[in-house]
A and B are shown apart, each in its own frame.
Chain A
Amino acid sequence: MKKICLFFIFLVLTFYGLNLKAQNYTVIDRLKVDLFDVEDIKKEELQYTLLTKTTIYVLDLDGKIINSYPREKVLGISYDQKRDKLYSIVGDENSDSDEQQLKYLAKNTSNTYSCNIIGSETKMSYSSAIVYMKEDRIDKSFTYIVGIPSGIYCNDNYLWYLSNKSVKGKPGFLMKYDVLTGNLIIEEEIPVEDAKGIDMDRDGNIYTFNNSTNEIIKFRRVE
């Protein structure tokens, strides 16, 4: 009996250890929407803005599409909570995968960030980086890119970077950097597969889009 108990405790501890990463986050809400191939998502006070390959959609908090605009040359979007304004980064998309391509946008009081992607989902340059933007040009690198970028968000203290493993059905990874030092503070698996886009509200809830289930996922870190 004693042996069985010890074995049971061992099993519990083992599985607890294996699942420790997944337990760092908990899903709060899922909202099914009638959209697919979403690349970025921003959560405003009373609406969502979603970027797909061709269109920018505005959805109410129930997921109903209330407006849409051609995406044209929008490469990334960022929502400024303090000013209640949505910003975009606009430019030409490069068809040549060897050329650099800006994607995604994040702003705080001091800085504007984007991902300078050199390559594609199957071939990436080791110079690909999250970069500081100065007016309409790349100023300097913040940190080199890890994985395939799926979104960025920042506040005045931290920058969150979402990386997709580029394999459908696999969970995304969320990395948290100190904006002053560029040091990586946290790198954790999130409970969302095929996640694209990231945003955060004032309460620390994180929003992303699951392209496998066509859902807006609201989740947060269990501290």
Chain B
Amino acid sequence: MKKINIIVFLLAILLFNTPIFAERYAILISAGKATTDDQFSNSEYWYDLYLAYEDLIIKQGYSHQNVIVFYGDGIDFTTTTYPRYKKELHGWTNSIVDFDNAYATMNAQFANLGNIITGNDEVLIQWVVGHGGSSTNDNYTALIQNRNTSLTEQQLNTMINQINNYSRRKILWMTCHAGCIVYGNINFNNNRSVVIPSSNWNQNSWGMNFPDTWHAEFNYVTTSALYGEDPVGTSYDADLNNDNEISMLELFTDANNSSLMSSDPQLGDGANRAPRMYIDECLELNGANTSNTEMYEAESISATNYIINSGTIANVTFAASNLNVKLLPGFKVNNGAKFHGFIGSIVFADTKNLVNNKNNDVEDVYEKNYVLKELNFNKIFANTNDFFICPNPVKDKLLIKSVNSGNDMIQYNVYNINGTLVYSKNTTERDLEIDFLNKQSGIYIIKIIDNNGMKIFKIVKD
């Protein structure tokens, strides 16, 4: 144990002398302009933008200068009669909006940001609210309503891909037919991105006059989930694993299960990173008690009163892309459990193995803030299993395929929309065929649990 502590100490000194400077950026685009209060497809262009901005600054710890906002004519909507949606509520004096939402402006600024954002940085891109349309999953267009101009999916993809150096990218997209951005030949998926559109490619997205005024349903649930309360202050809990942080998977799952959502949000997650990717990049885990395989991936991670229980499944990884991993009072890894800590870029595997697959009891070092680094970082991700399901919608047979091989036990569960388990199988088979012929039409949830965690798919039976 002493040796480990010495290595940790030396590495900590090394890291503090060679810091990795990473930033968190967020880009918010509101594809319209509010001109009055309480009007569908008008006022929420400001209200929902404000809620997204407020969450990033107040709850997620973003700096004002790193949240770039495109809206209307480039000027805040200040004549709203709702104090709730005025910047003065938080004592902010500067404008929230940085630029107008003209395509030329946005395209130029994305090009600028492409030169500023580096491979260590994280970026969130949110098309906050707008109209969209498509007749197939590949001819999506998004409208800038106040300009009466539409952008094609190719234009949007090219625009946002001008920012191509980043460690992680999170995309939230609210329009009708938004699912196009995760399907078809043109899509926003890649192994560094998690993409959540508000509806499937052939679905509408909806607005609702609730709880105080008009909001897009998707924005109500996502901002409430991230903020921990809705716009009128009612508590909102989307923290499914009770770690006090909302992962992109939790955000997606909550939106998908919300009774207030009329559409089906989709999940574009090329490398199964949604369970460990967060809007909040400075995770402060507190009070957890786990016996599972869990991975947290953020700019910095701290854990207080965090206990990893004994057992062969218990396997927790903290991967901090920038600042530090802090194991604070109450952090404990019990015998038989595994804990891994990393600091460094997750794209460029330049980290060094320090603690890997060893049964460590680090209870005696729990009060030290120490920095861990691992070189074999990619190995963790090499073990990730990706599953694909088809067809969706399904008529008679659902095929589940894995791109990787392995002999580990996999649990396949199928639930109907009421949450009733209608199919379950524990097997080492990685390719599976499930008979849907005699199942009732409707929505089904497929849960696949393997050594790398749980994957959730939503399918429709015709």
Contacts and interface: CB of A to CB of B under 8 A. Distances in A.
Contacts of A167: 38
Given A182-B148, A184-B148, A127 B133 contact: yes
Interface string B131-166: 111000000000101001000000000000000000
Nearest to A178: B148
B40 A124 contact: yes
B176 interface: yes
A191 interface: no
Given A126-B175, A127-B133, A144 B145 contact: yes
Contact of A145 (B41, B130, B143, B217): B41
Interface in A172-221: 173, 181-184, 187, 189
Contacts of B209: 121-123, 166
Interface string A23-49: 000000000000000000000000000
Interface string B210-230: 100000110000000000000
Contacts of A118: 204
Nearest to B205: A126
A118 B208 CA distance: 12
Given A144-B145, A181-B148, A124 B206 contact: yes
A166 B87 CA distance: 27
Contact of B39 (A121, A163, A181): A163
Given A127-B176, A127-B204, A165-B39, A122 B145 contact: no
A147 interface: yes
A148 interface: yes
B209 to A, nearest CB: 4
A170 interface: yes
Interface in A114-149: 118-119, 121-128, 141, 143-148
A98 B204 CA distance: 10
B204 A126 contact: yes
Interface in B11-42: 35-36, 38-42
Given A126-B216, A181-B148, A184-B148, A146 B42 contact: yes
Given A98-B262, A123-B209, A184-B148, A146 B38 contact: no
Interface in A85-120: 98, 118-119
Contact of A123 (B131, B132, B175, B207): B207
B80 to A, nearest CB: 14
B38 A124 contact: no
Interface in B356-379: none
Nearest to B147: A183
Contact of B131 (A144, A166, A184): A144
A96 B35 CA distance: 31
B176 A125 contact: yes
B128 to A, nearest CB: 12
Interface residues of A, number: 30
For A118, A123, A141, A181, the residue with the greatest tally of chain B CB atoms inside 10 Å of its CB is A123
Contacts of A122: 208-210
A124 B210 CA distance: 11
B40 A147 contact: yes
B206 A146 contact: no
Interface in B154-209: 175-176, 204-209
Nearest to B263: A125
Contact of A125 (B36, B39, B206): B206
Nearest to B38: A165
Contacts of A166: 38, 209
B60 to A, nearest CB: 26
Contact of A119 (B132, B145, B148, B206): B206
B204 A146 contact: no
A145 B42 CA distance: 9
A173 B41 CA distance: 13
Contacts of A187: 35-36
Contacts of A147: 39-42
Contacts of A173: 36, 39
Nearest to B210: A122
Contacts of B133: 127, 141
B148 A126 contact: no
A147 B148 CA distance: 17
B73 to A, nearest CB: 14
Contact of B205 (A125, A148, A165, A170): A125
19 contacts: A122-B208, A123-B207, A124-B208, A125-B262, A126-B41, A126-B131, A126-B176, A126-B207, A141-B133, A145-B41, A146-B39, A147-B42, A148-B40, A165-B36, A166-B38, A166-B209, A167-B38, A170-B38, A184-B148
Given A118-B204, A147-B41, 11 more contacts: A123-B207, A123-B208, A123-B262, A125-B205, A126-B175, A126-B176, A127-B204, A128-B41, A166-B209, A170-B38, A183-B148
The 5 closest A-B pairs by CB, nearest first: A125-B204, A147-B39, A122-B209, A127-B204, A127-B176
